[in-house]
């Protein structure tokens, strides 16, 4: 294929596929834990992290990672300790993080264009170094999910039963919080902060609609995440569309297709 | 009764939410081989009590010892199977197959990272056979009836080959026929496999037909003893009325 001749396209494809599959797999857990919107909320917090990195001249991916992890763990603690609903906790943490970003951005006043790039993402501009960082982070998430697969499935299915069988639920909740933060930062590269939730939620929803077992939901979700990036990049190249929008719309199309092919099978008649 | 046969030793346990007392000065033992029914009206503290026995909550005072160890230091949770109340009301969009649900029961035995090995397949089959559900192994759990789901949850609890099985109202919403089969299964597990059963129930028929010990809870433990003593007690008369001897009569 002609589009594969360009190094920028090769990088976009490699990083995009890896990140999309990672997000999709983790997304299945988040969706089932009703934490789908945590990704969206954390993206706002991450905006604050990016602004901070630009201000203090640290590579934004690291400052974003730090702030996202802090926000994600903060969310978890808020839910556990404060006795408030998850969506309220997300509302508080995400607005605070985003407000921080606005304040920091206006303080220095000169990097709004760069910040803008993080909001909308630009996978086609990803550099060789960033590909390696993304690959490393994605590998960490994938390894963590694989090594803790059955524990994660069990706590997601039934928290109470998991605790009763001696599984350290607190440690796994913490692990998921950290992994969510990492995937948000990864997804930011591909689709931008405003569309991070799309990579976490849409392929997972596609997999969940079609699957008869959890493992198959994971596989289908990973596949549809990968396909979305592939399709999105092809469309964006040939039709001259923004990559992030094309990727998310492809994901949405796949969701609708699997929805209409399979129908809602989850509920008992 | 020798000490190793005492599985649960609950001594003077009290607990409350805020100022409100839920459980008061509960003392009883569960011994190996018991088929114990815990009965009592809604809100009498049955679920609260068994959650504490499973280490899922801490009492305000008193102590719980499991197999000779205090509940805080007890680690062999794989020896205790648990079927929580309303297990069948979990998320119906969770795409778990019957096999996957039963496999969750195998985890407590394993060390991290807890991967399944080929021989686990046999253990899963065996657990499903005990509840007569092998044929449904690849089915999606939420595509089964409530009673079938309940059997799968029992199979999950049985998969770790527990010495004790704790069931919190497992037959709520299960039809009478299926209930009868279900309790026969429990009785078999109790008699043939020697599994100790602790069953929270509102079902009087079960108490009379299948169990051998009864604990009657209403904030305090108002009765604890053998099935026969229970039938002779005033509690049975007040609970079931003057016809209680009919209910308590065993064939
Ligand atoms: N999280 C909680 N906070 C405050 N009070 C609670 C909480 N959970 C239970 N209670 C109270 O504790 C009491 C005992 O509840 P529990 O669930 O143990 O009753 P139960 O005997 O299992 O009832 P049921 O037959 O309805 O299952 C009830 O009065 C209930 O209102
Ligand atoms: Mg209860």
Tell whether A163 is within 8 A of chain B (Cβ).
Answer: yes
- Asked, for residue A268, whether it belongs to a domain, the answer is no
Supply the ipTM of this predicted assembly.
0.88
What is the distance in angstroms between the CA of the first residue and the CA of the last residue of chain A?
47
For B142, the closest of A148, A156, A268 (CB atoms) is A268
Q: Ligand 1 centre and the CA of B17: distance in Å?
A: 9
C-alpha–C-alpha distance, residues B150 and B161, integer Å: 18
- Asked, for residue A61, whether it belongs to a domain, the answer is yes
Closest residue to atom 13 of ligand 1, CA basis: B43
| Ligand 1 contacts CB of residue B45 (under 6 A) | yes
Closest residue to atom 17 of ligand 1, CA basis: B47
Kindly give the confidence (pLDDT) of every residue in chain A, 269 residues in length, as a single tens digit, with 9 standing for 90 and above. 688 899 999 999 999 999 999 999 999 999 999 888 899 999 999 999 999 998 999 999 999 999 999 999 999 999 888 778 888 889 999 999 999 999 998 887 767 788 888 888 889 989 999 899 999 999 999 999 999 999 999 999 998 889 998 899 999 999 999 999 999 999 998 899 989 999 999 999 999 998 889 999 999 999 999 999 999 999 999 999 999 999 999 999 999 998 888 755 544 43
- Asked, for residue A267, whether it belongs to a domain, the answer is no
Q: Which domains does chain B have, with CATH numbers?
A: 3-248 (3.40.50.300)
* Residue B159 near residue A154, CB atoms below 8 Å: no
Ligand 1 atom with least separation from CA of B45: 18
Q: Ligand 1 centre and the CA of B222: distance in Å?
A: 18
| Ligand 1 contacts CB of residue B22 (under 6 A) | yes
Residue B38 φ/ψ, nearest 5 degrees: -105, 120
| Ligand 1 contacts CB of residue B201 (under 6 A) | no
How many separate domains does chain A show? Answer: 1
DSSP string, B142-202: GGS-HHHHHHHHHHHHHHT--SEEEEESTTTT--HHHHHHHHHHHHHHHHHH--EEEEE--
**What confidence tens digit (pLDDT) does each residue in B83-122 have?**
988 777 788 889 999 999 999 999 988 888 899 999 999 9
C-alpha–C-alpha distance, residues A153 and A207, integer Å: 15
- Asked, for residue A161, whether it belongs to a domain, the answer is yes
- Asked, for residue A269, whether it belongs to a domain, the answer is no
Buried b (16+ CB within 10 A) or exposed e, B219-244: bbbbbbeebeebbebebbeebbeeeb
C-alpha–C-alpha distance, residues A184 and B29, integer Å: 51
Closest residue to atom 7 of ligand 1, CA basis: B17
CATH of the domain at A41: 1.10.3470.10
* Residue A94 near residue A45, CB atoms below 8 Å: yes
- Asked, for residue A165, whether it belongs to a domain, the answer is yes
Specify the pLDDT at position B54: 95
**What confidence tens digit (pLDDT) does each residue in B198-232 have?**
999 988 777 778 888 999 998 889 888 888 788 77
Domain hosting residue A124, numbered range = 2-262
Contact check, Cβ <8 Å, A211/B80: no
- Give the three-class secondary structure for B220: strand
Q: B87: closest CA among B20, B18, B162, B173? A: B173
Tell whether B93 is within 8 A of chain A (Cβ).
Answer: yes
């Amino acid at each position: 294929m002609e589009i594969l001749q360009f190094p920028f396209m090769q990088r976009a494809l490699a990083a995009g596929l890896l990140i999309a599959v990672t997000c999709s797999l983790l997304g299945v857990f988040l969706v089932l834990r009703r934490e789908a919107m945590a990704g969206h909320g954390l993206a706002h917090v991450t905006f604050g992290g990016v602004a901070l990195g630009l201000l203090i001249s640290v590579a934004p991916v690291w400052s974003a990672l730090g702030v996202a992890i802090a926000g994600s763990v903060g969310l978890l603690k808020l839910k556990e300790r404060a006795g408030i609903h998850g969506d309220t906790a997300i509302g508080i943490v995400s607005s605070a993080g985003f407000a921080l970003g606005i304040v920091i951005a206006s303080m220095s006043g000169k990097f709004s264009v760069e910040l803008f790039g993080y909001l909308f993402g630009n996978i086609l501009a990803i550099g060789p170094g960033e590909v390696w960082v993304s690959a490393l982070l994605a590998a960490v998430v994938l390894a963590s999910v694989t090594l803790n697969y059955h524990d994660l499935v069990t706590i997601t299915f039934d928290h109470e039963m998991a605790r009763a069988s001696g599984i350290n639920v607190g440690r796994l909740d913490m692990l998921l919080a950290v992994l969510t933060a990492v995937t948000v930062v990864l997804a930011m590269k591909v689709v931008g902060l405003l569309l991070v939730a799309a990579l976490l939620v849409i392929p997972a929803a596609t997999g969940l609609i079609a699957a008869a077992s959890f493992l198959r939901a994971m596989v289908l979700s990973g596949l549809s995440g990968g396909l979305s990036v592939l399709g999105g990049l092809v469309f964006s190249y040939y039709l001259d569309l923004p990559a992030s929008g094309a990727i998310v719309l492809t994901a949405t199309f796949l969701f609708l297709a699997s929805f209409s092919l399979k129908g809602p099978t989850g509920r008992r008649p | 009764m020798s000490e190793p046969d005492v599985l649960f030793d609950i001594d003077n346990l009290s607990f409350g939410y805020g100022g409100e007392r839920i459980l008061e000065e509960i003392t009883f033992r569960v011994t190996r081989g018991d088929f114990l029914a815990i009965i009592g009206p809604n809100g009498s503290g049955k679920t609260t009590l068994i959650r504490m026995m499973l280490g899922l909550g801490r009492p305000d005072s008193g102590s719980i010892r499991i197999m000779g160890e205090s509940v805080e230091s007890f680690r062999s949770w794989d020896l205790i199977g648990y079927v929580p109340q309303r297990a069948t009301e979990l998320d119906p969009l969770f795409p778990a197959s019957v096999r996957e649900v039963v496999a969750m029961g195998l985890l407590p035995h394993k060390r991290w990272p807890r991967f399944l090995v080929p021989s686990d397949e046999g253990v899963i089959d065996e657990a499903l056979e005990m509840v007569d559900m092998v044929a449904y192994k690849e089915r999606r759990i939420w595509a089964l009836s409530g009673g079938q789901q309940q059997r799968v949850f029992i199979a999950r609890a049985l998969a770790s080959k527990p010495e004790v099985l704790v069931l919190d109202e497992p037959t709520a919403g299960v039809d009478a026929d299926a209930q009868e089969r279900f309790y026969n299964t429990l009785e078999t597990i109790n008699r043939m496999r020697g599994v100790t059963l602790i069953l929270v129930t509102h079902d009087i028929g079960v108490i009379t037909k299948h169990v051998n010990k009864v604990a009657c809870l209403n904030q305090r433990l108002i009765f604890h003893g053998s099935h026969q003593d229970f039938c002779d007690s005033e509690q049975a008369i007040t609970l079931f009325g003057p016809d209680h001897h009919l209910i308590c009569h065993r064939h």
